[in-house]
């Protein structure tokens, strides 16, 4: 790839997520049941307050903007306010910005939409204020709240919303979209590269698109090695080798694999834990051994999240497995 081509592709990198964001509910992939329910609301032009809950990159924001586009057409931005609660966590954002938008005069539509992203980051006081605001302006405003963990949303707000739970996208849906984008951008994508993107994404479409973008800048062909290098993801076989060596009692070999993943490939300890957790049942090991590994994974994850040293805890986990404990 020439330097000019590389710069051109890098310059497009920032906008790919928005460039390929579905514009209508019909374009949303992997959530047919949710889309069907949302389309029934839109067709009747009778939205309720909504709560979108689920992992990152599964289409929550996309569905919110698609609803606004279908209801308001080209003027949708005038009637759609998007706030990110992780940036604006306090009670002031509820009292000021939301109320000011709700009170603003408007014409031509029955109600406007306020989309509050990452609503589980709101403080409890802000959520209490939001509950009252939802009641006060329910005649001319509809709220769509988005969160990763619905348990962090207070019950009075949940009871006021129609709840939509987004699950991680199926591998087939992610693969289809990645193929379409690669064809549109003229990227040569190998089958093993596609499989690597799907594996690294783990149901997160945004992560898959970002991985394709980044890997496409590094060379003419997006293959397996390019994807794993750019996404800082360990190959499944490396994780399997590390665990199997420990279970076989070969701590030295297991530790060597861990050291290569942490040092040479620069993978974070928390990411290794996540890959272990999602892959353990794919390993060809007995159920008893798998249960033992999962127990050690849980203990190690807890210690790391509490601030313990990642390398020490991961090595201790492998040592425990090697000793048969």
Amino acid 105: pLDDT: 62
186 is in an annotated binding site: no
Amino acid 84: pLDDT: 81
Given a cut of 90, whether residue 129 has pLDDT beyond it is no
Per the structure block, which two tokens stand in for 323?
Answer: 């000793």
Mean pLDDT of 67-91: 81
Regarding predicted confidence, which is higher, 97 or 160? 160
Rounded-to-5 percentages of helix, strand, coil across the chain: 65, 10, 25
Q: From CA 157, how far away is CA 55, in angstroms rounded?
A: 20
Given a cut of 90, whether residue 109 has pLDDT beyond it is no
Residue indicated by tokens 């861990």: 258
Given a cut of 60, whether residue 47 has pLDDT beyond it is yes
Give the pLDDT band of residue 3 (cuts 50, 70, 90): very low
CA atoms within 13 A on the CB side of 232: 11
Sign of CA dihedral 56, 61, 67, 69: negative
Exposure of 32 by Cβ count < 10 A (0-12 exposed, 13-18 middle, 19+ buried)?
exposed
- The mean pLDDT of the chain is 85
Given a cut of 80, whether residue 256 has pLDDT beyond it is yes
Given a cut of 70, whether residue 86 has pLDDT beyond it is no
Amino acid 168: pLDDT: 92
Give the pLDDT band of residue 93 (cuts 50, 70, 90): low
Give the pLDDT band of residue 101 (cuts 50, 70, 90): confident
19 is in an annotated binding site: no
123 is in an annotated binding site: no
Question: Are 83 and 117 in contact, with CB atoms under 8 Å apart?
Answer: yes
Given a cut of 70, whether residue 88 has pLDDT beyond it is no
What are the b/e assignments for 170-200, b being 16+ CB within 10 Å? ebebbbebbeebbeebebebeeebbebbbbb
Instruction: Tell me the three state secondary structure of residue 13.
Output: helix
54 is in an annotated binding site: yes
Given a cut of 70, whether residue 247 has pLDDT beyond it is yes
pTM: 0.81
Given a cut of 50, whether residue 260 has pLDDT beyond it is yes
Regarding predicted confidence, which is higher, 191 or 133? 191
Amino acid 49: pLDDT: 93
11 is in an annotated binding site: no
pLDDT digits 0-9 by tens, 312-323: 999 999 999 998
Question: Are 175 and 198 in contact, with CB atoms under 8 Å apart?
Answer: yes
Mean pLDDT of 208-220: 84
Mean pLDDT of 130-137: 85
Which region among 12-21, 154-163, 265-274, 298-307 has the lowest average model confidence (pLDDT)?
12-21
Given a cut of 70, whether residue 325 has pLDDT beyond it is no
Given a cut of 60, whether residue 181 has pLDDT beyond it is yes
Backbone dihedral angles phi then psi of residue 272, each to the nearest 5 degrees: -65, -40
Given a cut of 70, whether residue 265 has pLDDT beyond it is yes
55 is in an annotated binding site: yes
What are the b/e assignments for 151-166, b being 16+ CB within 10 Å? eebeeebeebbeebeb
Q: Which of 144, 162, 167 is nearest to 66 (CA)?
A: 144
Give the pLDDT band of residue 10 (cuts 50, 70, 90): very low
Four-point Cα dihedral 264, 265, 267, 273, nearest 10? -90
Mean pLDDT of 36-60: 91
Regarding predicted confidence, which is higher, 324 or 242? 242
Mean pLDDT of 168-185: 91
> What domains, with CATH codes, occur in the chain?
31-165 (3.40.50.300), 175-231 (1.10.8.60), 236-322 (1.20.272.10)
């Amino acid at each position: 790839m020439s330097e000019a081509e590389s710069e051109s592709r890098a310059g497009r990198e920032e906008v790919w997520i928005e460039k390929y964001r579905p514009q209508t509910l019909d374009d949303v992939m992997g959530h047919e049941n949710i889309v069907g329910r949302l389309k029934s609301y839109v067709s009747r032009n009778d939205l309720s307050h909504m709560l979108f809950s689920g992992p990152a990159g599964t289409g929550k924001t996309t569905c919110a903007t698609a609803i606004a586009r279908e209801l308001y057409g080209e003027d949708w931005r005038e009637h759609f306010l998007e706030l990110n609660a992780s940036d604006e966590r306090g009670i002031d954002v509820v009292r000021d910005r939301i109320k000011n938008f709700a009170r603003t005069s408007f014409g031509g539509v029955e109600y406007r939409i306020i989309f509050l992203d990452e609503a589980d980051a709101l403080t409890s006081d802000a959520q209490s204020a939001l509950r009252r605001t939802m009641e006060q302006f329910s005649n001319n405003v509809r709220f769509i709240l988005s969160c990763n963990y619905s348990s962090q949303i207070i019950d009075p707000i949940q009871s006021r919303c129609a709840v939509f739970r987004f699950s991680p996208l199926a591998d087939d849906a992610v693969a289809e979209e990645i193929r379409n984008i690669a064809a549109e951008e003229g990227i040569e994508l190998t089958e093993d590269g596609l499989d690597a993107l799907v594996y690294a994404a783990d149901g997160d479409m945004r992560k898959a698109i970002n991985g394709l973008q980044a890997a496409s800048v590094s060379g003419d062909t997006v293959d397996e090695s390019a994807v794993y290098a750019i996404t800082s993801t360990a190959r499944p076989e490396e994780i399997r080798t590390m665990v199997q060596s420990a279970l076989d009692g070969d701590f030295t070999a297991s530790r060597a694999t861990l050291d290569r993943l942490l040092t040479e490939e620069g993978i974070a300890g928390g990411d290794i834990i996540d890959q272990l957790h999602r892959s353990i049942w794919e390993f060809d090991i007995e159920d008893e051994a798998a249960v033992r590994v999962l127990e050690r994974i849980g203990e190690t994850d807890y210690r790391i999240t509490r601030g313990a040293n990642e390398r020490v805890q991961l090595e201790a986990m492998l040592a425990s497995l090697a000793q048969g404990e």
